[in-house]
Amino acid sequence: MHDDALRQAPGPQNQPIQGLIEAMTFELIPLSTLDAAIDSLPPSSTVSVTCSPTKGLGATIEATDKVRALGHDAIPHLSARLTEGPDRVADIASWLRQQEIDKVFIVGGDAEHPAGPYPDALSFLRDLLDADPGLASVGVTAYPDSHPLIATDKLHEALHAKQQLLADAGVQGWASTQMCFDSAMITRWLHREREMGFTLPIHLGIAGVVDAKKLVTMGMRLGVGASLRYLRKNRAAVGRLLAPGAYDPGRLLNELAPTIGPSNITGIHCFTFNQVEATAQWQLEALSTV
């Protein structure tokens, strides 16, 4: 699969894609494979550090500190449903200020039961901003393929409410899409949300060059939610992923090339599942075609 992905990397005719690939964010998971994943990162990478219900916020904070100490720009995921209450929010805000971390990614989280009074990202974000964390930019989740547990109209309302909350606080933001393999679905969602007044920049959530079976099994083990539920409910997508040589991140990006400018797509959020080496190689090969 890796060789085919490399051969099909976006060519120089897709200059907007080249810029996104060059600056893409590598998502890492705080697991035993974290150190090897960090070692495989290109120098001075932007790294998004996940927050898993099986590991908790402490593991995210520890991994974020480790990534930053090695010269990378780390963006911690902060999970609403794993936060025990306002005192914990104050601790998080203090850590962000002390470490001079001015960019975070806010998620509701996949924990079945909230650990405190924050059942969703919006309620948590409101208290975090009130705690004066010194943030310059906040990322929020977006779901082109909907969410198995949240109605589409609720997702839309929450997305726009978070945009308004950030605007009222004078904090910049972006929306990162959950992993989706259907370019037409992503395009329709982008067009609809832009027409309805959503203006935050978009970071496309794409899977890196990872082993397809690991993609599915790791997702189930870690509870990454909608990222993998799309695959479980779409057998055709699973079949395409499991076919040797079938999956290439560049193919989806090429399909979305016409909408990058009009839809204000400014970044790539790459789900690596800690298999960074192959994705970094794909990135290098893609950029070498310029």
Q: What is the pLDDT of residues 123-134, one digit of tens each?
A: 999 999 999 999
Decide if 45 contacts 75 (C-beta within 8 A). Answer: no
Between CA 75 and CA 261 the distance in angstroms is 25
Between CA 84 and CA 113 the distance in angstroms is 11
Task: Name residue 269's beta-bridge partners.
Answer: 25, 205
Token couple for 113: 């039961």
Token couple for 219: 């997702």
The CATH class that applies to domain 2-288 reads alpha beta
Between CA 259 and CA 265 the distance in angstroms is 8
Which helix (H) or strand (E) element contains residue 130? Answer: helix 121-130
Q: What are phi and psi of 110, to 5 degrees?
A: -100, 10
Label residues 138-171 b or e (16+ Cβ within 10 Å = b): bbbbbbbbbbeeeeeeebbebbbbbbebbeebeb
pLDDT digit string, tens, across residues 64-81: 999 999 999 999 999 999
Closest listed residue to residue 106, CA positions, set 33, 21, 169 = 169
Q: Residue 155: its pLDDT value, please?
A: 93
Q: Residue 207: its pLDDT value, please?
A: 87
Token couple for 187: 């395009």
Q: What is the pTM of this model?
A: 0.88
Which residues of the chain register pLDDT less than 70? 1-14, 212-247, 289-290
Average pLDDT score, the chain: 86
